[in-house]
Amino acid sequence: MVIVKKSMKMTRKLRMNADSFYLPKENPSKPLGEDAHFISLDSQVIGVADGVGGWARKGIDAGEYARELMKNASEFVRGQSPGDVDPKQVLQDSFSKTESPGSSTACVLSLAGNLLKAVNLGDSGFMVIRRGNVVYGSPAQQHSFNHPYQMGRTSGGVEAADEITVEVKAGDVVVVGTDGLFDNVFPEDIETTVEYCLEREYEPEITAWILGNTASHNSLDEKATSPFEMAAYEAGVAHFGGKYDDITVVVAYVVSC
């Protein structure tokens, strides 16, 4: 469990204005890719999931698991007010109802007042950017290099997930993504891109699109220095450039109600 600032209390009313970008890998057998996500503006909840690709060796499309997981999460929060949403409960309920084979990473966030609450399992995640600087970034959970924690019918549940609470302010930007984003774009480049977009008053949809296309460009560049390349080097694995993957980006602007 991860708790940021134990003394935090819900005070000022804020809300997230959010939008998303999704680019699946080109694969005729899996046209929808293996990522999934949802946004509930009414309940102020965001969720992303990344089906674990290793299941393909057994003929299983883990994207189906991720999509069912996020569909169940979206249905669970429907009609709930922001202050009533418990991200871990959302993920636990969704996990218990998901019957597709496979497994997935997952990250679910909710905003209640000025408190951003999250549950994160694996190497999807989020960061909070304030005035051009990352003030919080969720740590990736991995058993070893490129082997993330995951949930599935035969892979375990949400027990190992980090529970996170971050105090946010109006003007903050929350960037949520699968590893297709974070493996291909360094945090400082995400900071710079977000600041660039805010200066031009771009909507969250455009900011997500720019971040997603930056990740896509880097994922195809064998000469680009990427977070994935650096992690591979530290693990003693030879890999150059970005990591070709499905890319999901959700961008939320925190604003006063």
The CATH number of the domain where 68 resides is what?
Answer: 3.60.40.10
- Predicted confidence at residue 11, as pLDDT, reads 66
Residue 8 covered by a domain: no
Q: pLDDT > 70: what percent of the chain?
A: 95
- pLDDT tier at 59, thresholds 50, 70, 90: confident
Q: pLDDT > 90: what percent of the chain?
A: 87
CA distance readout (Å), 22 to 149, 188, 196, 198, 246: 22, 21, 21, 21, 8
- Predicted confidence at residue 10, as pLDDT, reads 60
- Predicted confidence at residue 6, as pLDDT, reads 46
What's the CA gap between 123 and 142, in Å, rounded?
A: 7
What's the CA gap between 52 and 65, in Å, rounded?
A: 9
Residue 217 covered by a domain: yes
Segment 127-177, tens digit of pLDDT = 999 999 999 999 999 999 999 999 998 888 999 999 999 999 999 999 999
- Predicted confidence at residue 155, as pLDDT, reads 84
Residue 4 covered by a domain: no
Residue 5 covered by a domain: no
Residue 237 covered by a domain: yes
What's the CA gap between 108 and 116, in Å, rounded?
A: 10
- pLDDT tier at 40, thresholds 50, 70, 90: very high
Which of helix, strand or coil describes residue 6? coil
- Predicted confidence at residue 83, as pLDDT, reads 86
Q: What is the pTM of this model?
A: 0.95
Residue 187 covered by a domain: yes
**By mean pLDDT, which of 52-56, 69-73, 90-94, 235-239 is the weakest?**
52-56
Q: Which helix (H) or strand (E) holds 94?
A: helix 87-97
Count of alpha carbons within 13 angstroms of residue 252, beta-carbon side: 28
Q: Tally the domains of the chain.
A: 1
More confident residue, 5 or 180: 180
Residue 110 covered by a domain: yes
Mean pLDDT of the chain: 95
What's the CA gap between 194 and 64, in Å, rounded?
A: 31
Residue 6 covered by a domain: no
Q: In this structure, are residues 239 and 232 in contact, taking their beta carbons and an 8 Å threshold? A: yes
CA distance readout (Å), 167 to 74, 116, 132, 136, 172: 24, 6, 17, 10, 10
pLDDT at 109 over 60: yes
**By mean pLDDT, which of 52-56, 101-105, 130-134, 160-164 is the weakest?**
52-56
Pairing, β 125-130 against β 115-121: unpaired
Range of the domain at 235: 14-256
pLDDT at 180 over 70: yes
Burial of 101 (0-12, 13-18, 19+ CB in 10 A): middle
